[in-house]
Structure 1
């Protein structure tokens, strides 16, 4: 707290020559030295309008409350409470101070109170989940429907993320959870493997005019649609190279969600994570089939920061992934 008293001349010794400046003469109260208990004493006096009643309320002696009042008066540079027949009446300065102090004490009390358990039925919390669009396609709708049914006031944002970007998104505070394939995490993130996924083919069987499932010869004869983070090559190219084979990539995309319009009515095939292939087939009428080469499986993990954990939301994400895994097993 500062007050302007006027202008005066100040000399600073120890410098070459005399540095003479004009400054506002001020009085400073070092707030950092004030005792938090002074605020509670002020509020007790505000509500009781009596030193003796305030002392009783605070379980202090009258002399201790009087000493605190003296410190309050010095800090505020105001009498604050004036003794009258009706008790200690607040000054205009005290009236102005009362509401901010009440709000401040309430905030401090809230900060130190026990955290209320998360209740999905009443919570208005917002969650941001990072995942690549193959997971958004497959488990995003399941998560959204679960929230609508069990946590109607909770909202969610799905952010584009992969193992290359996920740590930066957590560090920037842009996501609360992440679903990532084969993460290579070096930071202090918590990690839970929630399952494994593999690959499948997606095509318009009528337009391709082939008997399914695809054999390797037909698979390599078809033009391919590639979906890749780099837009250049993917796991199929790496596996075929090791076998001394290659495919012809006709079109390259960076998002799985764009595949259906490129495949419908076209003699072409796309190879993608089976969970995304299954979801796209369900909404587009395209055909899902097995890949005629062994692309293996990969782990899928749920990531979060321990300081911002929400076990209920983790369970929702985990359940959504388990649900699509059960559907994959029936293909």
Structure 2
């Protein structure tokens, strides 16, 4: 073991470390690297022998890196970033034969809005690639992108972490959803009703000030908030059972919620500015051929979305 540990590291093992630190799963890493699971397991065994550390431990949520693996993260990602960004960029990315998993940071709202259109496009353009989504608190997004665990973050970030690249995809506006059984609300909602009724707001952090529609409180004054939740998709179900509650959500999401027979959309009776939906990525993949290709697919998928 000492002779292996003191010998030269086989650089062919670094892509295995890179894949495992990102996808946290041996079978997914093998698929991405176009290797067998046994070959990835063998490479991991050699990495463990060389560094004298387990590096990754099996848990219920996947292969979790040890403190030693986290120490190795930056230098390994730096080497892999150089290989991808400077040595292999000329080779481009052949989506027709590539086998890898693209990982996206998305909220449940993002999955509903982005995934159907994106899946349709990627299944045709990259038939052997797959997708994985992660729901990550805003303050952790930079670290997830930097580590390579995610390729892109899609959505509306109130405060974009410093150092990330971003590209606007389209603009969206807010509307309010109410229960059709609420006899106090007709085809429109007055400002007086809006501020008198109790609201549901969505905040990934659980703090009201971080809610997606917090701009309303800033431009029009505080509302009566009854429920703060991290989940968009539970909102129409809650309003269906509680007709006295209302919520203000992005228009595209409200359109989907209107499929509930008890839910209807009305214009938000206060002037609320539109907001931008963007894709974000880390500088280390700015010149990565696969990431460049993925960003282009995302941009093209939503270029035709009406304002």
The TM-score normalised by the length of structure 1 is 0.56
* Greater per-residue strand proportion: 1
Unmatched segments (≥5 aa) in structure 1: 4-29, 33-110
| Residue matched to 1:277 | 254
| Residue matched to 2:297 | 316
| Counterpart pick for 2:168 among 187, 193, 199 | 193
| Counterpart pick for 1:256 among 218, 222, 232 | 232
Shift of 1:167: 0.7
1: distance between equivalents of 2:7 and 2:213? 66
Residue 306 in structure 1 maps to residue 286 in structure 2: yes
SS at match of 1:164: helix
2: distance between equivalents of 1:167 and 1:196? 23
Shift of 1:163: 4.1
Equivalences for residues 47-126 of structure 1 within 5 A: 116-126=91-101
Q: Is the 1:207–1:266 contact (alpha carbons within 8 Å) kept by the matching residues of 2?
A: no
Q: Is the 1:237–1:247 contact (alpha carbons within 8 Å) kept by the matching residues of 2?
A: no
Shift of 1:113: 7.7
Q: Is the 1:196–1:300 contact (alpha carbons within 8 Å) kept by the matching residues of 2?
A: yes
Q: Aligned-residue CA RMSD in angstroms?
A: 3.3
| Residue matched to 2:38 | none
SS at match of 2:234: helix
1: distance between equivalents of 2:87 and 2:214? 57
Q: In the superposition, relative to structure 1, how do residues 242 and 191 fare at CA in structure 2: closer, same or farther (>3 Å)?
A: closer
Q: In the superposition, relative to structure 1, how do residues 217 and 283 fare at CA in structure 2: closer, same or farther (>3 Å)?
A: same
1: distance between equivalents of 2:178 and 2:302? 24
Which protein has greater RCO, CA pairs closer than 8 Å, 6+ apart? 2
Shift of 1:307: 4.2
Equivalences for residues 154-165 of structure 1 within 5 A: 154-161=129-136, 163-165=138-140
Q: Is the 2:215–2:272 contact (alpha carbons within 8 Å) kept by the matching residues of 1?
A: no
| Residue matched to 2:189 | 214
| Counterpart pick for 1:181 among 122, 139, 156 | 156
2: distance between equivalents of 1:167 and 1:126? 19
SS at match of 1:260: helix
Q: Is the 2:106–2:134 contact (alpha carbons within 8 Å) kept by the matching residues of 1?
A: yes
Shift of 1:291: 0.9
Q: In the superposition, relative to structure 1, how do residues 235 and 300 fare at CA in structure 2: closer, same or farther (>3 Å)?
A: closer
Q: In the superposition, relative to structure 1, how do residues 215 and 283 fare at CA in structure 2: closer, same or farther (>3 Å)?
A: same
Residue 136 in structure 1 maps to residue 136 in structure 2: no
Deviations 1:230-254 (A, max 9, x none): 43424656644765x5432222211
Deviations 1:118-158 (A, max 9, x none): 33333222100113332222112211222234433210111
Unmatched segments (≥5 aa) in structure 2: 9-85
Q: Kindly name which structure, 1 or 2, has the bigger radius of gyration based on alpha carbons.
A: 1
Residue 169 in structure 1 maps to residue 150 in structure 2: no
Shift of 1:314: 1.4
| Residue matched to 2:206 | 231
Single out whichever of 270-279 and 125-134 deviates more from structure 2: 270-279
